[in-house]
């Protein structure tokens, strides 16, 4: 979760200037807030999250203590593969997240039947990722989803229309799950070469190789 700071800076001539920071991680936000308050030149210091909720410094420290052990700073890479001859799809997911002071990576895949197109496999991969996030206990959190399926990501953002009934049903399921978990998503289109790990997992699922691993990143 990232935060933005807003404060009022006092100049020597008693003039006051309203200042705003960039979006920064919680720990950085607290450090900035402490240093600003120590300067003695700051009034009305507030911290805002992406939803517009605000806190003062004391409240921010309490908030981070409470959420420290919950999964946060979540990034999801996803990909879907499709075999037309048997209408099967392989779903590949790579999830990076922090828990406490440690950072983890989850690699997972799944084979599912009765798919119609590669596009549908991509939608199914996002939904599969959301189910894993739910099992992890991710909620009330901003999550970034990265993939090379530009059309899907633009449709999820609401920038491009979706005319296929099957895909619209997946969109509804995804949005319903997002709402249930209170996830605030951001979507990033990446080149295929940056999505190789998720692509490989999807291929392995089609080959019958089931994978699920959680690894501490040192």
Is 105 in contact with 94 (CB distance < 8 Å)?
yes
Report the predicted TM-score, pTM, of the whole model to 2 decimal places: 0.77
At 51, is the pLDDT very low, low, confident or very high (cuts 50, 70, 90)? confident
Of 105, 149, 158, which is closest to residue 124 (Cα–Cα)? 149
What domains can be seen in the chain, in order of their start residue?
A: 2-67 (no CATH), 72-217 (3.30.420.10)
Examine the pLDDT at 197 and tell me if it is beyond 80: yes
**pLDDT tens-digit series, residues 12-21:** 877 889 999 9
**pLDDT tens-digit series, residues 117-131:** 889 999 999 999 999
Return the H-helix or E-strand segment holding 42: strand 42-48
Is 119 in contact with 53 (CB distance < 8 Å)?
no
């Amino acid at each position: 979760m990232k935060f933005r700071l807003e404060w009022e800076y006092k100049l020597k001539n008693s003039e006051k200037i309203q200042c705003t920071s960039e979006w920064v991680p919680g720990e950085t936000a607290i450090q900035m807030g402490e240093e600003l308050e120590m300067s003695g030149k700051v009034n009305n210091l507030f911290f805002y999250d992406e939803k517009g909720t605000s806190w003062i410094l004391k409240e921010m420290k309490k908030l981070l203590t409470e959420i420290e052990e919950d999964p946060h700073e979540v990034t999801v890479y996803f990909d879907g593969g499709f075999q037309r001859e048997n209408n099967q799809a392989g779903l590949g997911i790579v999830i990076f997240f922090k828990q406490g002071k440690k950072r983890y990576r989850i690699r997972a895949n799944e084979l599912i039947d009765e798919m119609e197109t590669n596009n549908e496999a991509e939608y199914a991969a996002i939904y599969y990722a959301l189910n894993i996030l739910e099992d992890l206990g991710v909620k009330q959190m901003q999550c970034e989803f990265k993939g090379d399926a530009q059309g899907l990501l633009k449709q999820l953002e609401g920038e491009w229309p979706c005319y296929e009934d099957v895909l619209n049903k997946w969109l509804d399921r995804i949005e319903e799950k997002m709402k249930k978990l209170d996830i605030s998503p951001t979507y990033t289109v990446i080149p295929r070469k940056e999505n190789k790990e998720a692509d490989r997992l999807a291929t392995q699922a089609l080959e019958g190789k089931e994978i699920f691993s959680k690894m501490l990143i040192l």
